[in-house]
Structure 1
Amino acid sequence: MEKEKLIYDFVVGYMLKIIKSKIKTTKFKEEFNAIKHGDYISFIKLIGVGYPNDIIVLKEGGDFISSKKQIEMKNVDFLLLILSGQAMKDFYKRCYAEFGDISDPDLKDEHFENLANFEMILRMFTKTKFIIEDRITLEEIIKLISKELLLSDDETKKIQNGRLFLNMVKGHKAKFNSFKDGLNSFKESLEILKKYEITIEI
Structure 2
Amino acid sequence: MKELVKPFATTVGYMLKVLKSNADINDFNAEFKMIRHGNYFEFINSVKGEVPETVVYQKGIITSGNTPKEDDFDFLGLFNSNPSLIKFYNKCYSKYGTIDDKDIPNSIYGIAALFEISVRMHANNNQLIEQREKLVDTIDKLGKFKNLTIEEIEKLHKGRKFINMIKHFNNQFPTWNDGIKAMTIAYELLKTHKLTII
TM-score between both structures, scaled by the size of structure 1: 0.83
Q: Which amino acid aligns with 1:43?
A: F
Aligned partners of 1:60 and 1:129: how far apart in 2?
A: 17
Judge conservation of contact 1:7–1:83 (CA < 8 Å) in 2: no
Q: Any gaps of 5 or more consecutive residues in structure 1?
A: none
Q: Equivalent residues in 2 for 1:154-169 (5 A)?
A: 154-169=151-166
Aligned partners of 1:75 and 1:55: how far apart in 2?
A: 13
State the Cα RMSD in Å. 2.6
Q: Is 1:7–2:7 an aligned residue pair?
A: yes
Judge conservation of contact 2:139–2:156 (CA < 8 Å) in 1: yes
Q: Give the CA deviation at 1:49.
A: 3.8
Q: Which residue of 2 aligns with 1:55?
A: 54
Structure 1 residues 13 and 188: alpha-carbon distance in aligned structure 2, compared to 1, 3 A threshold: same
Aligned partners of 1:104 and 1:9: how far apart in 2?
A: 17
Q: Give the CA deviation at 1:116.
A: 0.7
Q: Using the aligned pairs only, state the percent identity.
A: 29
Q: Equivalent residues in 2 for 1:42-191 (5 A)?
A: 42-49=42-49, 52=51, 54-62=53-61, 64=63, 71-84=69-82, 86-130=83-127, 132-171=129-168, 173-191=170-188
Q: Which amino acid aligns with 2:15?
A: M
Aligned partners of 2:89 and 2:96: how far apart in 1?
A: 10
Aligned partners of 2:2 and 2:53: how far apart in 1?
A: 27
Q: Give the CA deviation at 1:39.
A: 5.2
Q: Give the CA deviation at 1:146.
A: 1.2
Structure 1 residues 22 and 122: alpha-carbon distance in aligned structure 2, compared to 1, 3 A threshold: same
